[in-house]
Amino acid sequence: GFRRARRLATQQVSEILRIGARAAEMKRAGLPVIVLGAGEPDFDTPPNVIEAAHRAMLAGETKYTALDGTPALKAALVAKFRRENGLDFAQNEITVAAGAKQVIYNALMATLDPGDEVIIPMPYWTTYSAMVEIAGGTAVTIACGEADGFRLTPEKLEAAITPRTRWLMLNAPSNPTGAAYDAAALRALLAVLERHPQVWLMSDEIYEHIVYDGFRAVSPAALAPGLRDRILIVNGVSKAYAMTGWRIGYGAGPAPLIAAMAVVQSQSTSNPCSIAQAAAVEALNGPQDFLTDRAESFRARRDLVVEALNAIPGLSCRRPEGAFYAFASCAGLLGATTPTGEVLATDRDFCSWILETAQVAMVPGAAFGLSPFFRISYATGTAELAEAMRRIRDACATLS
Ligand code: PLP
């Protein structure tokens, strides 16, 4: 019979995808489900980007490209890092892959040996620990609760580092909490890393443009030039330019790491889609002013969601600095009984009860390693968000 490889023994399709599949099934059955599960902007890819893709196809850019990014896209990325992050990279310090997801995968496959440890602040994007394990490493998770603003502290970081630590994976603004670090908080973490030369920093900056209330997301590489030779920046066009389906992500870091990552990509997928790369060049070089308009529209949605959640007895939600997620606590509802006599014992119970009775899909905090919370992705129209909040409120009011 079929036998999975050992490296997949503990891996499964992500819970977020499973909840999405259940929501889609309910929709097909005619139920008015509101999906606040997936981490995907509801905006369209900008028309200039789509036109660039069309032009590229007509111009014959339909063949294999340079392995880890066309010279045109790498040039656009060199300019992006200079313009937006104040960082200078050469083209051989930049890599392009099929999504930020593949950049992270390449980096872990290129660097981890059995027993190597990767520190992951928790709650975290589930993919991080899964990829570390598939690559043969050991995920070392550190609980970063609401009391710390869901942020890693220098003390916790210091305590988690061992001689086997290879990476700290940091994602700010964060999926799932929306928490971000100001320059002072980042400097404190970087000071710890400075004392441990075996530890590299993977900085996932994919939500850098989605920040609120004047918050500025700073790249750690810009704060600690001395650590530049052990920082990998991970980013992509998915979230900023509403290009999730195009699958273009990129990384920037030391040339020897980038070269090792190219080996992984060369023997797996080769270059990312030539047409999507041409589209990404236009996204990065074209008009950028809509980014602030979109961030402003995400801010209005965040306020709507956070205020509505905090008005529901038993729920509470910290106001996030960025990304498009609210990470709310349902601690006050655990142990409550539903009208049909079920007891809500966990955040998973709460989310599946809300999905089945109120037809609102959310992801339990357990999926990100921290309970009892749930994540709402508010990258959805305000009317739908307001309706979802009413449904959650009305459902919670029936609990006893
Ligand atoms: N990093 C984080 C924190 C994410 O939330 C996501 C997407 O959900 C990604 C990376 C991957 O983005 P992509 O592979 O679409 O570039």
Of 338, 364, 339, nearest to 351 by C-alpha is 364
- Tell me the average pLDDT across 333-342: 97
pLDDT band at 17 (very low <50, low <70, confident <90, very high): confident
Helix runs in 242-381, H state only: 255-266, 274-285, 290-310, 347-358
Q: Amino acid identity, residue 157?
A: L
CA of 177 to the centre of ligand 1 (A): 14
The pLDDT confidence band at residue 38, using thresholds 50, 70 and 90, is: confident
Give the pLDDT confidence score for residue 327 in this predicted structure. 98
Which atom of ligand 1 approaches the CA of 101 most closely? Answer: 14
For residue 158, give the H/E element and its range. helix 154-160
Which ligand 1 atom lies nearest to the CA of residue 171? 3
pLDDT band at 13 (very low <50, low <70, confident <90, very high): confident
Q: Specify the 3-state DSSP secondary structure of 135.
A: coil
Rounded to an integer, the average pLDDT of 381-388 is: 96
pLDDT of residue 221: 96
Scanning the structure block, which residue is given the tokens 């964060």?
Answer: 174
Ligand 1 center–CA 334 separation, angstroms:
31
Mutate to test the pocket of ligand 1, among 127, 150, 169, 174 (most ligand atoms within 8 A of CB): 127
| Ligand 1 centroid to residue 379 C-alpha, Å | 14
Confidence of residue 338 (pLDDT cuts 50, 70, 90): very high
* Banded model confidence at residue 294, pLDDT cuts 50, 70, 90: very high
* Residue 39 confidence (pLDDT): 84
Nearest to 164 by CA among 120, 119, 133, 194: 119
For 243-278, the pLDDT digits (tens) are 999 999 999 999 999 999 999 999 999 999 999 999
Pick the atom of ligand 1 nearest to 40's CA.
Answer: 8
Which protein residue has the closest C-alpha to ligand 1 atom 7? 39
Q: Write the single-letter amino acid at 217.
A: A
Which residues' Cβ are closer than 6 Å to ligand 1?
A: 39, 99-101, 125, 171, 175, 204, 206, 236, 238, 244, 249
Look at residue 224 and tell me whether its pLDDT is greater than 90.
yes
Nearest CA to ligand 1 atom 5: 175
Q: Where are the domains of the chain?
A: 6-44+290-396, 62-285
Per-residue pLDDT at 148: 96
Which of 175, 206, 246 is the pocket-test mutation for ligand 1 (most atoms within 8 Å of CB)?
Answer: 206
**CATH number of this structure's domain 6-44+290-396:** 3.90.1150.10
Instruction: Tell the CATH topology of 62-285.
Output: Aspartate Aminotransferase; domain 2 (3.40.640)
- Residue whose CB lies within 8 A of the most ligand 1 atoms, among 17, 96, 101, 207, for a mutation test: 101
CA distance 153 to 140: 15
Q: Is 219 helix (H, G, I), strand (E, B) or coil?
A: coil
Is the ipTM here above 0.90? yes
Q: What would the mean pLDDT of 205-217 be, rounded to a whole number?
A: 94
What pLDDT score was predicted for residue 370?
96
In angstroms, the CA 8 to CA 133 distance is 9
* Distance between Cα 54 and ligand 1 center (Å): 25
Checking if the pLDDT of 14 tops 90, the result is no
Q: Confidence band (pLDDT; 50, 70, 90) for 235?
A: very high
